[in-house]
Amino acid sequence: MAEADERTFLGLSDVSISEDIPVEGEITVPMSSHSQDDDYSTLDEPVKETIIRDLKAVGKKFVHVMYPKKSNALLRDWDLWGPLVLCVSLALMLQGGSVDSKEDGGPQFAEVFVIVWFGAVVITLNSKLLGGTISFFQSLCVLGYCVLPLTVGMLVCRLVLLASMGPINFLIRFIVVIAMFAWSTLASTAFLADSQPPNRKALAVYPIFLFYFVISWMILTFTPH
């Protein structure tokens, strides 16, 4: 038996290369020239194209938030441009309340900014500490983008407030804000809940609920002077 094995492997001993012959050659990576082309082209393209490409990415994510399905596009290529634009527009629209009166008015611009960003950071830290598998910036991205329904709600509220004040006015605003709050919470839960360990999902979702509730309260109690 052993002799048969020896004979089978006999020819292989000739294949070995002796030590004094150096092994050399050329290795070409077929994609290298293509990637060089890519860098070259994005550096050289007109600014309008770069901006439009980024805007398209942001717009695509807006669409994903408004029709939340379990797609990975929001999570995979995260960016923080959308949340920044939303936060700034929300903070701007919340101005113009009773700012010049002596009593305590609505939230200042900086307060809205701090609440949105600090709140998002705290929620992300909370979900990571509970054992979530999502990355820090992905979670920030999702939470920021899901402020979009509430920003739309704020816009609607400001338009409704141009009409006369009264209980019907308040009722319309109330319904709109409640609907947008539910939309935001459901959208962000749809994206974030899967990354949590199953026996702690409620613990991770509750702070998101509180976050959007506070933003909704700020929108609902906005009274122009």
Partner 1 sequence: MATVDDLKFAEFGDSANLLPVPGDDTTVTIEDPGQKPPASRGLPRGAGREEDEELLGNSDSDKTELLAGQKKSSPFWTFEYYQTFFDVDTYQVFDRIKGSMLPIPGRNFVRLYIRSNPDLYGPFWICATLVFAIAISGNFSNFLIHLGDKTFHYVPEFRKVSIAATAIYAYAWLVPLGLWGFLLWRNSKVMSIVSYSFLEIVCVYGYSLFVYIPTAILWIIPQKAVRWVLVMVALGLSGSVLVMTFWPAVRDDNRRVAVATIVTIVLLHTLLSVGCLAYFFDAPELDYAPTLSPAPPLKQATTMVKAI
The residues binding partner 1 (CB under 8 A) are: 97-98, 101, 103-108, 111, 126, 128-131, 199-203, 206-207, 210, 213-214, 217-218, 221-223
CA atoms within 13 A on the CB side of 2: 0
Output the DSSP codes for 101-144: SSS--S--HHHHHHHHHHHHHHHHHHHHHTT--S-HHHHHHHHH
d(CA 194, CA 191): 7
Residue 40: both structure tokens together: 């070259």
From the CB of 130, what's the least distance to partner 1, in Å? Answer: 5
| Eight-state DSSP code of residue 195 | G
CB nearer to partner 1: pick between 55 and 125: 125
In the complex with partner 1, the residue whose CB is nearer, 108 or 169, is 108
Shortest CB 76 distance to partner 1, Å: 23
**Residue type at 104?**
D
State which residue, 89 or 108, has the beta carbon closest to partner 1: 108
Give the list of residues 6+ apart from residue 108 with CB closer than 8 angstroms, or none. Answer: 95
Cβ closest to partner 1, residue 61 vs residue 212: 212
- Compute the least distance from the CB of residue 122 to partner 1, in Å: 8
Shortest Å distance, C-beta 183 to partner 1: 21
Residue carrying the six token digits 């082209």: 41
Chain centroid to CA 92: 21
Q: Which is nearer to partner 1, 19 or 103 (CB)?
A: 103
